[in-house]
């Protein structure tokens, strides 16, 4: 699993079947495309129409649920509690929570890959377990932050949903028994790069929304995430170097 992909019978390219390719190109010359004029921009035009149709009725992938905790709302009042655009902060907190929660599962899948390697390194597994534990702690912190705002940490907010959709490919890569270590580290690098930038922006957003306590409580996860990024990038670099040496 730790080795790079071998040279072999990859059949996808045209160089593997030059005679067939010649005949395929010949076919495109004999039987021309039948919907001229036009190009891929027809698809763009159609997409624009659909986007406008949804915009006209303000229909998005879904909405942010209003804070349901009577206690939270009565205590301070919604506006005072969350500033001008409370749904934005709830949505982004929900996104981060979902991301960290999925992150715990992604690390579990990655740990299986590392543990399966014939030369499985215990120190590497320990590092990954530590990162995984920290992702779980971040999730709990976000859960508490959402609860202090009177919002529901079990709801899937629109941004949480969209980030989940983005993660689908990462899940497929990490759980495929055939992907190698470098391919999985690359997937984790994508996760950690995004995570880093997202925590940074979330802290700024919490400050702007007049929640300095929440913002300062996020400094620790931010530092963790910076460390995660450095570690994953270093692991990937080492993995590629090993394969080249």
Contact with another protein (CB under 8 A) among 10, 63, 133, 216: 10
- Cis, peptide link before residue 152, omega less than 30° from 0: no
Collect contacts of 185-192 with beta carbons under 8 A, ≥24 apart. 185/232, 185/235, 185/236, 185/239, 186/236, 188/106, 188/107, 188/110, 188/232, 189/229, 189/232, 189/233, 189/236, 191/103, 191/106, 191/167, 192/225, 192/228, 192/229, 192/232, 192/233
**Considering the complex, what minimum distance in angstroms separates the CB of residue 24 from another protein?**
5
21 in contact with another protein (CB under 8 A) = yes
59 in contact with another protein (CB under 8 A) = no
85 in contact with another protein (CB under 8 A) = no
CA end-to-end span of the chain, whole Å?
17
17 in contact with another protein (CB under 8 A) = yes
Residue 83 φ/ψ region, left for φ over 0, alpha for ψ in the -120 to 50 degree band, beta for the rest: left
**Considering the complex, what minimum distance in angstroms separates the CB of residue 216 from another protein?**
38
Contact with another protein (CB under 8 A) among 60, 85, 172, 213: 172
Contact with another protein (CB under 8 A) among 2, 4, 28, 210: 28
What CA–CA distance (Å, rounded) separates 185 from 181? 6
Contact with another protein (CB under 8 A) among 55, 126, 176, 227: 176
3 in contact with another protein (CB under 8 A) = no
**Closer CB to another protein, residue 29 or residue 79?**
29
* Residue of 125, 86, 93 lying closest to 221 (CA atoms): 93
Contact with another protein (CB under 8 A) among 9, 56, 57, 70: 9
**Closer CB to another protein, residue 8 or residue 118?**
8
The residues that touch another protein, with contacts defined as CB under 8 A, are 8-14, 16-17, 20-21, 23-25, 27-28, 30-40, 42-43, 45-47, 50, 172, 176, 178
């Amino acid at each position: 699993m730790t080795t790079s992909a071998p040279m072999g019978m990859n059949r996808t390219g045209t160089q593997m079947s030059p005679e067939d390719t010649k005949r395929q190109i010949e076919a495109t010359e004999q039987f021309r495309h039948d919907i001229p004029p036009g190009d891929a921009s027809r698809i763009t035009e159609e997409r624009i129409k659909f986007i406008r149709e949804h915009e006209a009725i303000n229909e998005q992938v879904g909405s942010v649920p209003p804070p349901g905790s009577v206690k939270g709302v009565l205590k301070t009042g919604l506006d005072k509690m969350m500033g001008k655009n409370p749904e934005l902060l709830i949505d982004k907190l929900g996104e981060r929570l979902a991301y960290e929660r999925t992150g715990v599962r992604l690390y579990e899948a990655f740990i299986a890959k590392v543990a399966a390697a014939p030369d499985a390194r215990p120190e590497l597994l320990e590092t990954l377990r530590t990162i995984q534990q920290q992702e779980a702690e971040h999730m709990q912190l976000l859960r508490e932050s959402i609860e202090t705002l009177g919002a529901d940490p079990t709801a899937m907010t629109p941004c949480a949903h969209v980030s989940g959709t983005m993660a689908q490919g990462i899940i497929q890569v990490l759980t495929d028994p055939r992907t190698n270590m470098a391919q999985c580290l690359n997937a984790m690098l994508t996760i950690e790069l995004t995570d880093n930038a997202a925590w940074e922006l979330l802290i700024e957003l919490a400050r702007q929304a007049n929640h300095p306590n929440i913002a300062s409580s996020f400094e620790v996860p931010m530092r963790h995430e910076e460390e995660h990024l450095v570690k994953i990038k270093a692991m990937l670099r080492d993995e590629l170097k090993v394969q080249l040496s």
